[in-house]
Amino acid sequence: MSCSVQVAVRVRPFNSRERNLNAFCCISMNGRQTVITDLSKKNDEKKFTFDYSYWSHDGYHEEPSGYFSPAPGSHYADQKQVFSDVGQGVLDSAWEGYHACLFAYGQTGSGKSYSMVGYGENKGIIPIACEEIFRRIAQNKDPAKSFEVSCSMLEVYNEHVHDLLIKPSTRPPGGLEIRESKVLGIFVEGLSKRAVNSYAGIQKIVDEGTSNRSIGATLMNATSSRAHTVVSIELHQVTTMNGKQGRRLSVIHLVDLAGSEKNDQTQAIGDRLKEGCAINKSLSALGNVISALADKAAGKDKGRVVPYRDSKLTRLLQNALGGSCKTIMLCALSPASSNYDETLSTLRYADRAKQVKNFAVVNEDPTLRLIRELREENEELRALLEGNNGASRGLSEAERKVLEEEHQKEIRAMENALHDMEKSFQQKLEESQKQAAAQTAQGAIDSATVPHLTVLNEDVLLSGQVKFAFPHAPGQLWIGKKKGDWTPDVSLSGLGIFPRHCSCAFDAGKRVVYLTVEEGVNYTFVNGEKIGNKKLVALKSGDRLVLGQAYAFLVVFPAEKNPRLLEEYTYDNALQEVCVAQGEVKRAKPSEAELQEEKAKTEAYRKQVEAMQRAQSEFEEKMRQAALKASAEERQRLEEEFRKKHEALDREKKELQRKEMRRLAAETDRKEVEATLVEILPRVKEANLIAAELNKPYKLIPSFDMCFTSTGERKSKVLVSVKYCGKLVYEWTPAVLDNRLFLMRDLLEKYYEETDKDGFLRRLRKEEDPFWDPIEKEKCIGKAVLFLQSLTAQLESESNAHIFNKEGVEVGQLNVAVFPVTKDGKELEDDDIKESPEELLGTSAYYEVRILSASGLPKELSNNTFVKFKFFRCSSYTETPRVRGSTANPVFNFRKIFEESVTPAFTDYLENEVLIFEVYGEDLRATK
C-alpha cells in the first residue's frame, strides 16, 4: 500500500520570555494553510499547505481541572483534537497490522514535548495513545483473539544508543549496537523490552525511562535537548483457530527528535565545526534521507542510494522513513518573530517530508515460521564464521579476527532474539514485572511525604524526575565528584565540582535542611548568592541550589503543599539568578521606575491617538452640518476640503503609529539583548573554565554588534568575542557558542580519560580544536545606509552616509547614490518622468547604484578595502573591486545598473526600506 508521509504543524502560545519581550506573532493559519511573515520586511509572506495546521497560539480557556479547551468561537486546537487527527491515525494503522511511526520535530522550546507527552491534565499523544490501546483491548469480545503488548524506550545521544530502562550506571559505556536481520529487519541488540498488560504498566515504563534520562543527563553534565528519544510499543494480535496460532505484529514508534535549531539556525551555518557535533550530524543525515526519498518519490535520481547508514538515528528510523510503515511528522512551531529563521527552516523541512512515499504492508506471520527463518539465518551466520563461503579469504589476520568477532556478535544477537520469541507472553510479563521492581527499588523515595532535593533540567519534562531524600541528622547526603574510593551519594561531573563539594541533612525538629559546604566554597550558590565562607546554611522549601557551572537543584518540602514549585523555578531561571545576583549582568527584571516610564509612554501614545480621533470626528461632523446648508458648488468645495483634511489626519495618524512601533521595537531590542546576555553568560563562564582546565590561552567575553534593520533602524545583537593571549581573534554568535560548548565538553571528557594528558593535547589537530578558528583577514569596518524614498518620484538619492562600526561608533563616511536612469544608463528626460509611483506599476525601471569613495576609515583596517550590498531581492551580494594598498580615503568609482519590474512590493521597498552598504578591509594583524 503506497502512502505519503502525513505532516502536521502546530504553533504554541508565547512563552514567558517572549511575553516579556513584547514579541510579535509571525505565524497565521487558515484551514490547512500555514503562513509565516518576516515582520522585518513588509508583505514578505511564505505559504505552506500541510495535512493539518493546528492553531494553539491563543483562544483557549482553562477549565477548573487545568485542561486547556477552545474558547467559544475560537479555532484553538487542543490536545484531544491533535490526538483525534494524528494519534488516532497511528493507532488505526497499528490495529490494521501496519507498523506506524510518529515523530515530533522542531527547535528546543517549540512545544514538541507538550504535543507528545503533555503536562498535567493536558495529556499528550503518547499517554492518550497508551490509554486507547488498552481501551480497545478491553472492548474485544472475540474469544479466539488475544493481545500482547510490550514497550521499550531508548535515547540516541552523541551517536550512542542508550537503553532508558536501564540505570545509567549499569549501561555499557559505548551504548547498544544496531543490527539488521533478513527476518527481523533492523533492531537494537540487547534493548530491554517490557511486557505490559495495562496502561499503568506503560505509564510506569515511560516515567522510569524519563527518570533515567534525567539521571543520565545529570551524570554526564549533558544537554538533554541534544538527545533523540524513541518510545516503541509492540502490539501482537494473536488469533487461534483449530489449534493453530497466527500473529499480526504492529510496532508503533513515537519519536521526540532533538532540538532542530542546533542544526538549522542560520547563525550557526558558518560554523566550520557544525558537522563535528553529533546532534548536527544526525539531524543533517535525517534531512539528507528525507531529500533522497522525496527525490525518488518524484522520479528524480532513481539510482541514488538513500544514506540511512550515515547516523544511528536514520538507521533506527529506516523502516519508518522509507519502508513498510505509515508515518506522520508533527512539527512544532514557535510563534515569535525573533525565531523567524528557525521556524521557516522547520516549515521547509516539513514541506520536504510530505513528498516522501512509503509502501506499508500488513505484518502477518506465523510465529513458528519466524522462528524457523531465524534459525536458518543463524546457521548461515555460523557457516560464514567457519569460512565455508570463503568470505575471509585474502584478509589479514587482524581483519579476519575483526570479521569473526562481528559474526560472533551477530550470532549472539540472533540467539537472544530466538530465545525471546520462544517465551510465552506470561513469562515475559512476569520477567518485566521483576525487572521493573528491581529498577524501582534502587533509590526509590516517597516524594509525596519525604523532604528532598530534586534536579532541575533545561528540559522541563525532565525537571523534578530525579529526587534525593535528605537524611535525618546526623546522617548526610553527600554531593560531589567520584574520585578513587570516594563515591558521593549524588555523583556529579564537570567543572567546578569537587569530590566533597557539600552535604545536606534534615533537622526534623526545626523542619529545616542544613547545607554544609566543604570543598565547593567558590562554586556553591543558594538563590543566586555565593556561599563564600559561610560553611553552614539553612535551606527552606523552594530554595535553589546551583553547584559548579551547570547543576541546579530545588529544595522541596512536600508538607508545605506547593505543587507549582517546578513551574515557578526553572533550570534557566536558577542559572540566570546567579549571573544577576553576582552582578555579572544587568538585572533581568525592570525597576519600578522603568515600568512607570514605560506605562507613561504607552498612555501618552493612547491619548495622542484618542485626541486625533476626536479631532477627526469633530471635523467630520462640522463638514456634515455645513454640507446640509450649502449649495451644490459649495458642497463640492467642502468635500474637497474634507478629503484633504482626512488625508492629512490619516498621514499624521500613520506617522504616530510608525513612531510608536519604532519605540516599541527599540524597547524590545533592548530587552532581547539583556535576555540573551543573561542566557549566554553561564555558557561563556563554562567555556572559560574549560579553556583554563585544558591550559588554553583563550578567553571568551560577551560583546555587541550594531546592525541596521531593512527600514534603517539600529538594532543590537549579542556576540561572543574570543581572545587569544589577550588579543581579539574572532567573534561567535550565540548559536556557534552553543555548538562549540558541546564539543568543548566532549573534549574535556576525553582529556580526563587520558593518562598522558599533555600528549593528548599535543596530538589534537587545530582543525579539531573547538576553541580554534582560522583568523579572517577581511573584517567589516562598518555599515552605512541610504534612504530610497525619493526614487518613487524618480529623483536621485545621494548621501555622504555615516559609517558605523559594530559598537555604533562612527568610523568614516561613504559617498553613495542611486539614480533612476534609462536602459543604457543615461539620465531620464523630463518626458520620461512619471508624476506618481502608480504610473510606474507594470513597467521596467532602471537604477544605477554609485559607490564613489569613502573617507576617514580607521588605519588598521583600511587595507584592500571594498564595499558590498544587496539591492531589493538580490540573493547574493554585489561587491566593488578592492582598492589595493592602504588608505583611509579609498576611491571606488563603482557603478552598476539594476533592472527591476515595478510591482507594489518594489514601490513599498523604495518607500519604506533602506539600502545597506557594508564596508570591508583587511586586518594586517591577522596575518601576524
User: How far is residue 300's CA from residue 293's CA, in Å, rounded to a whole number?
Assistant: 10
Buried b (16+ CB within 10 A) or exposed e, 427-436: ebbeebeebb
Query: 3-class SS at 478?
Result: strand
What's the start-to-end Cα distance of the chain, in Å?
Answer: 65
Beta pairing class for 325-333 and 99-105 = parallel
**CA-to-CA dists, residue 112 to 115, 229, 296, 844, angstroms:** 5, 12, 29, 47
The CB density around residue 743, as the number of other CB atoms within 10 Å, is 17
247 φ/ψ angles, rounded to the nearest 5 degrees: -125, 140
520 is in an annotated binding site: no
Positive or negative: CA dihedral 198, 203, 104, 49: positive
Q: In terms of C-beta density within 10 A (0-12 exposed, 13-18 middle, 19 or more buried), how is residue 928 classed?
A: exposed
The CB density around residue 308, as the number of other CB atoms within 10 Å, is 23
- Please list, in sequence order, all residues whose beta carbon lies within 8 angstroms of the beta carbon of residue 547, skipping any fewer than 6 positions away: 479, 492, 496, 497, 501, 502, 520, 523, 524, 525, 553
362-368 long-range CB contacts below 8 Å, 24 or more apart? 362/96, 362/97, 362/98, 362/248, 363/97, 363/98, 363/99, 363/248, 363/249, 363/250, 363/324, 364/97, 364/246, 364/247, 364/248, 365/247, 365/249, 366/244, 366/245, 366/246, 366/247, 367/245, 367/247, 367/421
User: How far is residue 239's CA from residue 345's CA, in Å, rounded to a whole number?
Assistant: 47
549 is in an annotated binding site: no
Q: Quick check: 372 and 418 in contact, CB under 8 A? A: no
**CA-to-CA dists, residue 31 to 89, 111, 245, angstroms:** 19, 20, 46
**Which alpha helices (H) appear in 167-308, and where do they start and end?**
199-220, 261-264, 278-297
Buried b (16+ CB within 10 A) or exposed e, 473-499: eeebbbbbbeeeeeebbbbbbbbbbbb
396 is in an annotated binding site: no
User: How far is residue 110's CA from residue 343's CA, in Å, rounded to a whole number?
Assistant: 9
Q: Quick check: 496 and 549 in contact, CB under 8 A? A: yes
> Which of these, 254, 302, 255, 252, lies nearest to 282 by C-alpha position?
255
**Which alpha helices (H) appear in 553-631, and where do they start and end?**
565-568, 571-581, 592-629
239 is in an annotated binding site: no
484 is in an annotated binding site: no
Positive or negative: CA dihedral 284, 287, 292, 293: positive
DSSP letter, residue 87: I
> Which of these, 513, 437, 459, 393, lies nearest to 204 by C-alpha position?
437
Vertex 409 angle, CA 406 and 410, to 5°: 90
**Strand order in 27-30's β-sheet?**
27-30, 33-37, 45-49
259 is in an annotated binding site: no
Question: What count of Cα atoms within 13 Å lies in the side-chain half-sphere of residue 285?
Answer: 22
Beta pairing class for 502-507 and 512-517 = antiparallel
> Hey, what's the cell of 48?
505552506
110 is in an annotated binding site: yes
CA dihedral 623, 629, 635, 640 (to 10 degrees): -20
User: How far is residue 716's CA from residue 705's CA, in Å, rounded to a whole number?
Assistant: 6
- Cell 508583505 belongs to residue: 43
532 is in an annotated binding site: no
Binding-site entries: 106-113
Binding-site entries for ATP: 106-113
